[in-house]
Structure 1
């Protein structure tokens, strides 16, 4: 390929990347702009990407009305606890599937994966009936139970593949030294699986933080609502207060950004680097 063609190819790639970035960023920019606009200017044509006049009234109302702070705390509690237990339990299951041999191992794993093929919307009625029979309707604990159960299949699948690729010599060396299965899990598997654990943590947190159908089905008590339910209450019967909705949505994005910033370094850490650095 001639230098001119290579240059033209590079230009086309950059143009495509910039166009893709604009497509992805524009809705967020519009949401950010709308959150600072009074309701009267939200649907103005042409759309104003720079609010004029600008106001923080939408953020003030979002934080001080409809028990928004309570719903925010509820979401933090539910998502943090369900993420912790989901990653913990799935990492144990993945370690067992990756490192142990037992009867019906592959059958059990395939049954577990079968849960990924079932649309979540089909489980709403069974989940409601189960929650009612267990007496966990209208409770944050009930949401935690179903959030953990709903994420185990994917997390186990993700972590099992990563743990199965670990050098077997490391595991065998610890067995020779008399290390138990729990010791190998805690001191070998978990440190080496940090990139996969970070990925599972981010996915599980996002799914729990943004989850709406299950919360809407199981929660009717205003005191147990989560953040997606709170944002839905800002939509009136006759008109939606888009500035208020977007302001609340941007506030809800903050924990997601924090979680990503905390775990992003793990994405670039490979298995070999983890084994060498210990």
Structure 2
């Protein structure tokens, strides 16, 4: 075996070892969360930690699903996340198509103004958003969550989609235009079907951001009936002691929709992310 071959083999082994170590580091907290969700409160803080619950119990899941209107809070999150995702992706795709295909005065300036939204930390906007929501009558409503979630996600989505749209050959647009297709037809029947990877990427990002958002929901939601899932999970944390089994059981339930969405769109995720970040 040559020295070059041994070096390449050693490099391959090292990469695999590093990847396995990294995967274990990332998976360990999730595995411990799932394990703890099957433990009673008396066994949660045992030392050393037990990754295999003994004894195992389903009481945490029963309490989570049958107390404190958890199912209603879950549905609130579903409505808010799905509605915000659909509206955000639709608006962002239309804006991105205009920036990628049309030529008009101030186009680059307007696009850079859109990107300013990526540079402002979300927590800096809490107070002005609250004042605006109060003036618009959106306090203590799911609509107040949806409107501001959409506004918060439009900048990133437009950035990613514009890059992907710009990579689609313009000759396809020209051919449809010669056949009499207007701008809406070209956008809806040409660009959107060809942009599945980018749309999948923006869908994952938007759904994840809106599904587990906590700060803005805590700020404007006072009515218990309007609470979303992150606020519901907070209810299991008492002033003197945290019911970790319930918290982790609720967290497992909360993470399942995110996993489902990612599994549906994951085959397009990397392609859409890299294209949108590089092109345009």
- TM-score tier by shorter-chain length is over 0.9
User: Whole-Å Cα distance in 1 between the matches of residues 227 and 93 of structure 2?
Assistant: 29
Do the aligned partners of residues 180 and 209 (structure 1) sit closer, same or farther apart at CA in structure 2, a change above 3 Å counting? same
- Structure 1 SS opposite 2:159: helix
Pairing 1:60–2:43 present: no
Instruction: Name 2:238's counterpart in structure 1.
Output: 236
User: Whole-Å Cα distance in 1 between the matches of residues 5 and 267 of structure 2?
Assistant: 36
Q: In structure 2, which of residues 92, 99, 102 is the aligned counterpart of residue 100 of structure 1?
A: 102
Instruction: Name 1:252's counterpart in structure 2.
Output: 254
Q: In structure 1, which of residues 139, 143, 146 is the aligned counterpart of residue 145 of structure 2?
A: 143
Instruction: Name 1:122's counterpart in structure 2.
Output: 124
- Cα offset, 1:269, TM superposition: 6.7
- Cα offset, 1:2, TM superposition: 2.2
Superposed CA RMSD: 1.1
Tell me the number of residue pairs that the alignment of Structure 1 and Structure 2 aligns. Answer: 270
- Cα offset, 1:36, TM superposition: 0.4
User: Whole-Å Cα distance in 1 between the matches of residues 89 and 14 of structure 2?
Assistant: 42
For each residue in 1:126-153, what CA deviation from the matched residue of structure 2 results, as whole angstroms up to 9, or x when unmatched?
A: 1111111111111001110001111001
- Cα offset, 1:267, TM superposition: 3.4
- Structure 1 SS opposite 2:104: coil
Instruction: Name 2:215's counterpart in structure 1.
Output: 213
User: Whole-Å Cα distance in 1 between the matches of residues 258 and 45 of structure 2?
Assistant: 28
Q: TM-score, normalised by structure 2?
A: 0.94
Deviates more, 1:4-13 or 1:53-62: 4-13
- Structure 1 SS opposite 2:247: helix
User: Whole-Å Cα distance in 1 between the matches of residues 10 and 105 of structure 2?
Assistant: 59
User: Whole-Å Cα distance in 2 between the matches of residues 111 and 218 of structure 1?
Assistant: 27
- Structure 1 SS opposite 2:92: helix
For each residue in 1:84-123, what CA deviation from the matched residue of structure 2 results, as whole angstroms up to 9, or x when unmatched?
A: 0000000000000000011111111111111111000011
Instruction: Name 1:14's counterpart in structure 2.
Output: 16
Q: In structure 2, which of residues 26, 43, 59 is the aligned counterpart of residue 41 of structure 1?
A: 43
Q: TM-score, normalised by structure 1?
A: 0.95
Q: Which runs of 5+ in 2 are unaligned?
A: 273-280
Instruction: Name 1:163's counterpart in structure 2.
Output: 165
- Cα offset, 1:268, TM superposition: 6.8
For each residue in 1:164-195, what CA deviation from the matched residue of structure 2 results, as whole angstroms up to 9, or x when unmatched?
A: 11111111111111110001001111011110
Instruction: Name 2:201's counterpart in structure 1.
Output: 199
What pairs with 1:18-29 in structure 2 (closer than 5 Å)?
18-29=20-31
Conserved? CA contact 2:198–2:271, under 8 Å: no
- Cα offset, 1:265, TM superposition: 3.1
For each residue in 1:218-262, what CA deviation from the matched residue of structure 2 results, as whole angstroms up to 9, or x when unmatched?
A: 101101000000001110100111111000000001111111122
